[in-house]
Amino acid sequence: MDLSIIIVNFNVRFFLEQCLHSVVIAVKPYRNEIFVVDNNSVDGSVFMVRDKFPSVKLIVNNENLGFSKACNQALKLSSGKYCLLLNPDTVVEEDTFIKCINFMESHPEAGATGVKMIDGKGKFLPESKRALPTPSVAFYKIFGLSALFPFSKTFSRYHLNYLSNEETHAVEILSGAFMLIRRMALNKTGLLDEDFFMYGEDIDLSYRLIRAGFVNYYFPGTTIIHFKGESTKKGSINYVLLFYRAMIIFARKHFSRNNAWLFTTSLKLAIYFRALLALIRRLGKKFLQPFLDIVLIYSSFYFLSPLWGKYRFGTEEYYPGEFFIFIVPAYIMVWILSIYYSGGYEKPFRTGKIIRGYLAGTFIILVIYALLPENLRFSRALILLGTLWGLLILLFQRLIFQTAGCKEYRPPNDRKNRHVIIGLKEEITRVLHLFQKSRPSDEIIGFISPGGIDDPYYLGDLTRLKDIIKIHQIDEIIFCAKDISSRDIINHMITISELPVLIKIAPPESICIIGSNFVSAGEGLYNLYFNSISKLRNRQLKRLFDIISSLVILIFSPLLFFLFKTFRKTYSDSLKVLIGCKTWVSYNPSSDISSLPRLKSGVYHPQVDHIGSDPELLGKLNFEYARDYKLTNDLVILSRNIFRYSR
């Protein structure tokens, strides 16, 4: 066996599909074996591999064992002269393996080789080549000196920025995203250290190869795409903890006691510092605006109430302290929740949603106000004044932030995003159908031929790609991978990497278009879920429906006792839904739901009486429910099932 390829997958089905398409083409010149080790994915990855790539040797784990253990599972079964560790969110060129193996054959001292990697926008990834993270190197990296002096041999050693990206270099550390290892070297060093769950195992293995007398090479003779961060979100606290803990394991294993102590102490400080920053950043993004709104609305009541009391009742002390301690905060929480569920906190902020949410909150407050006892009805007029003043001050605050240049507060750009598709007519038709289902509000400007085809159907060919992007003000381009080689896609991505255009790839026969717009926001995929239940807005509405319907059932539970035979179960289900343990309507578990957006288990399910328990038909119902979610569907299903058991 010439080459064994090991891919560890965890919930990146569509990226894995494109990766395997590119690998199957590139590996043809060699006797090969391809392993996919799935770490208990729930996105349908296992079914996809079995269905579309039956020759792949699939290892299915019932839990997430981490990267090292999963790799070792395949390495122990493999027999190739060379072993390649490859991330599932990568795309290789058609001749990547030929060039890399030829390089290894001509460099017998090489223990492992890495390649030039670019991200989903065509930009070079600096982790393609790295130095050993000694205490000094790590210190310069952690505290930002490497960023301040990016080409210094002293301060920028972590990513070796002072070495040319276009020249071959002997380096210390290679990336586990693409690491071609000589079997003989691996036999000498041993497999990956399973103390590393994720991150650090590539550093450890690279270092052990050097200590065993081998040389690690950075080889830019071929380039791969690495949609960096699709498997793990780099901005998360979990990532910070996993990465730095891996560094501590490495230091304790390989450094002297004094150096290890210095290194681990610095890293622990960095862990807490970075985790704190990540937490503040996340909480700030999510809760800063609601917090500001709470302060502004409360302040408006605090200053408005004495004025109204003086005007209406002749005294500024008319409203007691309990009013400001209990009643005003209750009003504010209703307004904030109403704005939230109306989409007023979605970015960019929209004035219409804020107004709609605030007025809806006022309506709810007035309804509740009418039901309160007399001693808790302080002033309906003050509620209306608070509504007017609070709404004005909220909009004024956003106007100030918008004027100051904060991008989240800029008015939404109503211009439709402009796209072009690159491919042949047959594949363009398929991708166009997929695109129109997933992005109906965007605009396809035209099509680009992958070759020199003289046809008015196309705007031009790939040689005019830059001109077409500039002239037509294109926001995004989609490559049809069936009609364009991975090498050409990569070359064109690099060529246009400086242009403000987003890049997507449509794998052959896939129901998804992949890319890497904003990894932390998860916006890398277009798929067929047009009004998918996975959309934040739909999840908010679904949760709001669960809360309101559960409260209604619980409030009227004395009446329900006489109406329903299954009162006790209905009452129990309402409590579970209210606290978030369940949802009223979810998928029918009698069919495969692994490829659908995740939902909590449901009390009831989409059902048609005549189909019985046919898994295939139930699967179609589940798919349609997830794809085109409507709040009315939940209402109909809940009503039908509850009244089915009336006395």
Q: Give Cα separations from 395 to 294, 295, 595 (angstroms).
A: 13, 14, 41
Helices (H), 451-517: 465-471, 486-495
Q: Supply the pLDDT for residue 216.
A: 95
pLDDT above 60 (res 189)? yes
pLDDT of residue 463: 87
CA–CA separation, 274 and 342 (whole Å): 34
d(CA 613, CA 440): 34
pTM for this entry: 0.66
- What average pLDDT does range 238-261 have in this prediction? 65
pLDDT value of position 528: 43
Closest C-alpha to 233, from 283, 278, 175: 278
Residue 261 near residue 350 (C-beta atoms within 8 A): no
pLDDT digits (tens, 9 = 90+) for 276-314: 776 777 777 778 889 999 999 998 888 888 888 888 788
How many Å separate Cα 30 from the centre of its chain? 35
Higher pLDDT, 378 or 532: 378
Split at pLDDT 50, 70, 90, the class of 49 is: very high
Give the pLDDT score at 599. Answer: 86
Listed range (283-292, 524-533, 580-589, 603-612) with the worst mean pLDDT: 524-533
Please tell me the distance from the alpha carbon of residue 506 to that of residue 517, in angstroms, as a whole number.
Answer: 15
* Digit-coded pLDDT (tens) for 51-91: 899 999 999 998 888 888 999 999 999 999 999 999 999 99
> Domain spans of the chain?
3-129+165-230, 233-411, 418-526, 536-644
At residue 183, the pLDDT reads: 95
Q: Tell me the pLDDT band of 256, cut-offs 50, 70 and 90.
A: low
Query: Which CATH class, in words, describes the domain spanning 3-129+165-230?
Result: alpha beta
123 CA to centre of own chain:
20
Q: How confident is the model at residue 174 (pLDDT cuts 50, 70, 90)?
A: very high
Distance CA 19, CA 230 (A): 13
Which pLDDT tens digit goes with each residue over 355-368? 988 998 898 888 88
Which segment, 175-189, 281-295, 462-476, is predicted with the most confidence on average?
175-189
Bridge-partner residues for 178, per DSSP?
86
pLDDT for residue 115 is more than 60:
yes
**Under 8 Å between Cβ of 86 and 477:** no
CB 47 within 8 A of CB 68: no
pLDDT tens digit sequence for 391-402 = 899 988 888 888
Most confident stretch, 238-242, 361-365, 508-512, 640-644: 361-365
CATH homologous superfamily of 418-526: NAD(P)-binding Rossmann-like Domain (3.40.50.720)
Given pLDDT bands bounded at 50, 70 and 90, which one contains residue 326? confident
Mean pLDDT of 217-239: 72
Helix, strand and coil content of the chain, in percent to the nearest 5, comes to 50, 15, 35
Residue 610 predicted with pLDDT over 80: no
Does residue 445 surpass a pLDDT of 70? yes
Chain length of the chain: 647
